């Protein structure tokens, strides 16, 4: 099976709607097919990977810790729109410091989160075989 | 009157519609994704006037879930579920702007 | 609904409530599959529970194999070894004994 480039586009805040969790589940399932997977967080989707989420007060499962497992699934390209962060008064420091261990580099920890401009993101998107939006 | 808004202002215009219509005695409680409008961002101006009059509330659990409880804009009052109940007692059954 | 030692399980034998899990339940589930749980089984079950605690998901087999290999050495981090412990699949059977949901994407 030839490898294709898949991008999952995340546009919704977590918890208020089911899109974020659904996307994450699809990403984990698709990871089994060993494709070249990347994630993009734009608009309110950037809230999905904001650090310090605590869901005790709303009685829902806190699935933010699952994003930290993505590295184990060889998903290590998470692109975040700089403009979307700026509009929301957020910066890279507000995001979870997600990393992956590079098997080819003696398991060195490397960052998985890349804050990019919309122009850069659009270039990355046009390079994909498949883009799925949630 | 009490109005609840559960949509992000970046996604829908529910909050703007609500602000456009409500009278001077009304208050707004931001819940679920609506709490995004309680933080300092480019949509904050929608409620800043009302907030300065002490008429905008945001639900604590929903702020915490999204990791944004430290980013609440000035003058917005953070309440827990008991506070939500108090608002209902004071202002009556809420109108939900979905 | 079926149950194991009073804890409800779904049609595939997975615990309905994750908090119901006890070691006795794991032993009982294994007995139903004709398996006597050894230290080697427990090592994997404990690992699965720790993984779930940290990441809120049951790992896919590929991820589990890699992670076990990293933690316990190459002689254990391979599917032959893990399938010898859990013949119905380290993901599916292992997670069931560990009281976790079926791994995401596992059929």
Candidates A16, A53, A56; nearest CB to B32 = A16
User: Are B32 and A62 an interchain contact pair (Cβ–Cβ within 8 Å)?
Assistant: no
pLDDT of B42 above 60: yes
Among B4, B9, B10, the strongest candidate for a mutation testing the A interface, having the largest count of A CBs within 10 A, is B10
For A47-115, the DSSP string reads GGGBS----GGGT---GGGGGGGGGGGT---EEEEHHHHHHTT--GGGB---EEEEGGGTTEEEE-EEE
What per-residue confidence (pLDDT) applies to A127? 95
Known catalytic membership, residue C95: no
Asked whether the beta carbons of B60 and B78 are under 8 A apart, the reply is yes
Residue ranges of chain A with per-residue pLDDT less than 50: none
How large is the ipTM? Answer: 0.88
Distance CA A88, CA A80 (A): 13
Residues of chain C neighbouring A106 (CB-CB closer than 8 A): none
Q: What is the pLDDT of residues A14-37, one digit of tens each?
A: 999 999 999 999 999 888 788 899
Hey, where are the domains in chain A?
Answer: 5-133
User: How many domains are there within chain B?
Assistant: 1
Q: What is the pLDDT of residues C59-70, one digit of tens each?
A: 888 889 988 998
Chain A residue with Cα closest to C70? A107
pLDDT of C107 above 60: no
Percent of all residues in chain C with a pLDDT value above 70, rounded to a whole number: 97
Q: What is the pLDDT of residues C73-106, one digit of tens each?
A: 889 989 899 999 999 999 899 999 999 998 876 6
Q: What is the mean pLDDT of residues B71-97?
A: 96
Instruction: Give, in words, the CATH class of C3-97.
Output: mainly alpha
Distance CA B90, CA B97 (A): 19
Identify the CATH number of the domain in which residue B23 sits.
3.40.1260.10
What per-residue confidence (pLDDT) applies to C105? 64
Fold of the domain spanning A5-133 = Hypothetical Protein Ychn; Chain: A, (3.40.1260)
Say how many CB pairs under 8 Å bridge A and C. 36
Touching status, chains C and B (3+ beta-carbon pairs under 8 Å): no
| List of chains touching B (3+ CB pairs within 8 A) | A
Q: B72: domain range?
A: 2-97
Hey, where are the domains in chain C?
Answer: 3-97
Residue B57 burial (C-beta neighbours within 10 Å; 0-12, 13-18, 19+): buried
């Amino acid at each position: 099976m030839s490898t294709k480039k898949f991008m999952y586009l995340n546009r919704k805040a977590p918890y208020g709607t089911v899109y974020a969790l659904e996307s994450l589940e699809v990403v984990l399932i698709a990871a089994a097919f060993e494709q070249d997977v990347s994630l993009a967080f734009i608009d309110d989707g950037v809230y999905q990977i904001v650090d310090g989420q605590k869901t005790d007060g709303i009685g829902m499962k806190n699935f933010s810790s699952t994003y930290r497992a993505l590295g184990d699934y060889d998903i290590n390209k998470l692109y975040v729109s700089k403009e979307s962060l700026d509009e929301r008064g957020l910066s890279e420091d507000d995001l979870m410091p997600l990393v992956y261990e590079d098997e080819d580099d003696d398991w060195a920890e490397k960052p998985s989160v890349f804050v990019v401009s919309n122009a850069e993101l659009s270039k990355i998107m046009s390079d994909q075989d498949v883009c799925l939006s949630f | 009157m009490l109005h609840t808004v559960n949509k992000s202002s970046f996604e829908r215009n529910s909050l703007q519609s609500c602000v456009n219509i409500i009278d001077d005695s009304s208050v707004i409680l931001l819940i679920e994704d609506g709490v995004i409008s309680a933080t300092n961002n480019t949509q904050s101006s929608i409620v800043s006037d009302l907030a300065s009059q002490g008429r905008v509330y945001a639900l604590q659990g929903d702020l915490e879930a999204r990791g944004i409880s430290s980013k609440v804009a000035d003058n917005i009052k953070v309440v827990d579920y008991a506070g939500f109940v108090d608002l209902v007692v004071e202002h009556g059954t809420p109108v939900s702007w979905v | 609904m079926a149950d194991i030692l009073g804890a409800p399980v779904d049609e595939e034998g997975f615990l309905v409530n994750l908090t119901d899990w006890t070691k006795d339940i794991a032993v009982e589930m294994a007995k139903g599959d004709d398996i006597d749980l050894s230290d080697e089984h427990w090592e994997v079950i404990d690992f699965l529970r720790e993984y779930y605690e940290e990441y809120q998901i049951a790992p896919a087999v590929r991820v589990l194999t890699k992670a076990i290999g990293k933690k316990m050495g190459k002689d254990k981090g391979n599917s032959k070894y893990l399938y010898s412990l859990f013949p119905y699949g380290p993901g599916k059977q292992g997670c069931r004994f560990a009281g976790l949901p079926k791994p995401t994407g596992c059929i």
